[in-house]
Amino acid sequence: MAERGFTLLEVMVALAVLAIALGAALQTAATGSRQLAELEARTVAGWVAQNVVAELQLAPDWPAPGIREGVQSQLGREWDWQARIEATNDSDLRRVEVRVQPRQGEGAGYLLAALPRPAPPADEGEAGAGPAQDGAAPDA
């Protein structure tokens, strides 16, 4: 009676096919992991750039054209940033280009923003500047 089963050659071919398939799956997983890390770095770099622009907007003085550099900590990592501030054809508008690079590792960010001149503070003594102080309705 003949025995049924796989020959050694058939088993070796099956193992070779399995090894190739598992190798491809492992490579795909590694690529996805690298892409995820790069995406995270770009996202955090974008947050750093947005923070730099927000700080410029909130500064008491409107920034003069030039280059500013600094370091910001975000999610436990140090990020170097450089803001290039340029004048535009509109005297009430500045062009801000922020580049961000991690101190260690891969990833970079870039942000281009327009920074308007802040509005001057309103004089509190001007007529019609606000509601009447005694709670009465203003004269019409």
Domain spans in the chain, listed from the N-terminal domain onward: 10-116
C-alpha–C-alpha distance, residues 49 and 56, integer Å: 11
Q: Are 112 and 47 in contact (CB under 8 A)?
A: no
- In this structure, which amino acid lies at residue 34? R
C-alpha–C-alpha distance, residues 140 and 121, integer Å: 25
H/E segment holding residue 40? helix 8-58
pLDDT band at residue 140, thresholds of 50, 70 and 90? very low
CA 91 from chain centre, in angstroms, equals 28
Please check the confidence at residue 83 and state whether its pLDDT lies above 80: yes
pLDDT (0 to 100) of residue 135:
53
Superfamily of 10-116 according to CATH = GSPII I/J protein-like (3.30.1300.30)
| pTM: predicted TM-score of the whole model, two decimal places | 0.65
- The better pLDDT of the pair 121, 71 is held by 71
Q: What is the pLDDT of residues 104-136, one digit of tens each?
A: 766 677 778 888 888 777 775 555 555 555 555
What is the C-alpha radius of gyration for the chain, rounded to an integer number of angstroms? 31
C-alpha–C-alpha distance, residues 69 and 81, integer Å: 6
Q: What is the pLDDT of residues 39-56, one digit of tens each?
A: 888 888 889 999 999 999
pLDDT (0 to 100) of residue 60:
86
pLDDT (0 to 100) of residue 137:
53
Q: What is the mean pLDDT of the chain?
A: 83
C-alpha–C-alpha distance, residues 97 and 68, integer Å: 10
Angle at 97 between CA 93 and CA 102, to 5 degrees: 150
